[in-house]
A and B are shown apart, each in its own frame.
Chain A
Amino acid sequence: MKLEREMMRGAGPTAVLQLLSTGEMYGYQLVEALDARSRGVLAIGQSTLYPMLYNLEAKALVKSRQATADNGRPRRYYRLTAKGKKKLHADRAQWAALADAMAALGVTPSALVGAAS
């Protein structure tokens, strides 16, 4: 299942920040990780990912650097900034509250809430 555009607009940045909280990653790595770890729910293409990364960079939530990979190719790596970490922390709290609220309303099963928290 893929999320609708509006849902993705809210969830995508938080998902990217969460992935980057584990360490710096480059664009293709992020696409693959989002697809694999969300089981395709948060799968996004380049046309969505790179504008999102550039916007996060403009807000100083992530920082990028150009480096040469092991295979000798130039790549741009993204990592979380201190401001990005704070933002992720706040987002996590909001998503948890949202999940709880949705579970309380019966939109999502409460088991999921437990798993999420």
Chain B
Amino acid sequence: MKAPAAPAPAPLLRRLRYTPFRDLFRGRTTSRLDLARRVDHAGLPPRADERVRQTVRATRLWRPEKVSVADELIAHFRDGRDAGHTDDELAEAFGNPAVAAKLIGRAKRRNRSWSARGFVWSRRVAMVLVLLYAGLAAQFFVGSPRVTVDYIAQLNAAALAVPEDQRAWPGLRAAWIEAREKDDGDYPGPAYFDPDPATLDVRDPADPAWPQANAFLERQRPRLDAIHRGAAMPRLGFVAKPDHDLSVADRRAFGMDPAGESALDANARRTVERAEGRRDGLRIGIALQRYRLAHGRWPGRLAELTPDLLPTLPVDRVTGGPLRYRVGDDGPVVYSLGGNRDDDRGRPANQENDEADPDRAAYWSEPTTGHDGDGLIYAASAE
């Protein structure tokens, strides 16, 4: 069989694509892995050419392995042609390409090194983990929580077992709500149920508050009677409900936010507000430091930071006005006026235990008017 003419070189990109890294590192573009081109230039008769392509493609081996198999099959067909066999004879003698591909693929994979097998298995494991993660993520983002154990029902089972006419709770609840709603505040204490003994201890008829206390108790007599009746019931019979199912009257009577915000909602809101407040402080702090690096001094006004270092200045989220800025001995301080809306020159507001409460300014949706001091957004001395 006549040797085929030397093939024209492939385009550079194709050569790069099919050159092993090892050859590339040596500065050669051998395109040794260009399977199609190798078979094209083998000069095989049509049926043999088809057998080689079909078989090699169906092995699903790695490209270097496919090239090795293709080379061997090409050499075999060429030897057959040299021995005088026709294309049809060689194709018939080859056998079934699908079966050949399956057997060759399996046998070649057995020849892989342990490191190659480890790579295959780690890739499979990684794929399984990715799929598992994707499945769990999809379930997390698309699915909704499914209640498998109704703990509230379990808690309520004992209360619901009590006959309705023997439950103390409905009467106590009604009396409590009514007492809270009708408490007009003329009792000498700050509130009817104030735990401060000084305001509850009106026992002496000589006490100036005695008539007021008696008048208050007289007005509350129906509710007090109802509470006495409830206390005489054999069982409390309290049926619990989730926070969101409570009525406005219940919320008001039992010291909850009547707007319906649960403790969980409030915590989430506070977390978001705190994060946004800290982000404001961080943005201003970075802009101040960059300004100082560029100019060797702190800016005279926050407005000097815009627009080069900050597109817009964050505002005082409590007052809605501009944040206050002052440069002291310890560096600049940026602060909110806080709940009392007084400028305390950046002195941080304190908590009830007199400890500094730097996050106070961040809870802008619930400013406490009683707290003196400002809400620090950024203080260079705190770094």
Contact = CB atoms under 8 A, between A and B. Distances in A.
B94 interface: yes
Interface residues of A, number: 25
A50 B72 CA distance: 9
B73 interface: yes
Contact of B94 (A47, A52, A53, A76): A47
Contacts, number: 71
Contacts of B110: 54-55, 58
Contacts of B97: 47
Interface in B65-84: 68-69, 71-73, 75-76, 78-80, 82-83
B111 A58 contact: yes
Interface string A31-53: 11000000000000111101111
Contacts of A75: 75
B75 A47 contact: no
Given A46-B95, A46-B100, A51 B107 contact: yes
Contacts of A48: 95, 103
A57 B110 CA distance: 9
B100 A73 contact: no
A31 B77 CA distance: 12
B95 A45 contact: yes
A72 B99 CA distance: 31
Secondary structure call for the A interface:
helix
A58 B107 contact: yes
B95 A50 contact: no
A15 B83 CA distance: 22
A23 interface: no
B94 A28 contact: no
B75 A51 contact: no
Given A51-B100, A58-B107, A46 B73 contact: yes
14 contacts: A31-B76, A45-B93, A45-B94, A46-B100, A47-B55, A47-B94, A50-B104, A54-B110, A54-B111, A55-B107, A66-B71, A74-B75, A75-B75, A76-B72
Given A46-B94, A51-B106, A76-B68, 20 more contacts: A27-B72, A28-B79, A28-B80, A45-B94, A46-B93, A47-B55, A47-B96, A47-B99, A47-B104, A50-B104, A54-B104, A54-B110, A55-B110, A58-B107, A58-B110, A58-B111, A73-B75, A74-B75, A75-B75, A76-B71
Interface of B: 3, 55, 68-69, 71-73, 75-76, 78-80, 82-83, 93-97, 99-100, 103-104, 106-108, 110-111
